[in-house]
Amino acid sequence: MKSPENVLVLTAPSELTANDASSLRDKAKTRFTENYTDINLDCSHLGFIDSSGLGALISLQKLAAQRSGTLRLLKPQSAVIQILELTRLHRIFEIVPG
């Protein structure tokens, strides 16, 4: 695990849908300043995610990848992991279980 000063820590809302996807995307873009390479997204409260929410996660992953970093999904609930597995996206994100 890289040192914490490289890691932007964000908290996912309880729902990540077409409603709130752009809000998370914008928040990440604003706060992902030059000193960061990685993003840790705390998913412990995330109970529901739809395809737009998955799109937001991919945009976060791209932000990190531009700086050779990684997006880590921390403690996602099993329902969220199932969606990631269904859409094969668990191959792309680093999933850190709770």
Partner 1 sequence: MSAPAPFRNDPSLITPPGAEEGIAWRWTGIPSLMAVREAAVNARKFLKRQGLMEEDLNAWELVLTEAANNVVLHMPAERAGDSWNLQLIVTPKDVTATLTDHSPGFEWPDKVDLPDVDSESGRGLYIIKEMTSSRHYLRGPQENVLTLVRARQASGRITNADNVREPRTEVFTAEEKKELEATLDDMTEELGAAYESLSAIFRFSSESHRITDLSDFTSTLLHHLGTVTQSDCGVIRLAEEEGTFRTLAVMGGVPSPDTLDDGDFDRLEQAAIASGQDQWIEEGTLPARARIKSGLVHPFYEGGILMGTVSLGRHRLTDPMRAGDVNVVHTFSEFLAQHILRRRHEEAAQRASAVKRELELAASIQRSLLPRSMPSIPGLQLSAHCESAMDVGGDFYSVLPWGDTGVFFMMADVMGKGVGASMMAAVTRSVLRSVPQLYEDPGLVLQQTAKFLFEDLDRLEMFVTAVVGTMDLPSGEVRVASAGHCPVLIAMPDGEVYEIPACGPPLGLMEEIHYPSTSMRFPAGSRMLVFTDGLTDPRDGRGAFADHTELAHWLKESARSAGPADDLHEALLHRLRLNSATAPLADDQTFILLHRLETPTAP
* Using rule CB under 8 A, residue 14 touches partner 1: no
Q: Which of 11, 52, 67, 75 forms a contact with partner 1 (CB under 8 A)?
A: 52
Nearest to 27 by CA among 17, 47, 41: 41
3-state secondary structure of 57: helix
Q: Is 64 helix (H, G, I), strand (E, B) or coil?
A: helix
Written as one letter, the residue type at 4 is P
Residue 24 interacting with partner 1 (CB under 8 A):
no
3, 14, 35, 78: which one binds partner 1 (CB under 8 A): 78
Which positions lie near partner 1, rule CB under 8 A? 15, 17-19, 48, 50-52, 54-56, 58-59, 61-62, 68, 78-79, 81-92, 94-95, 97
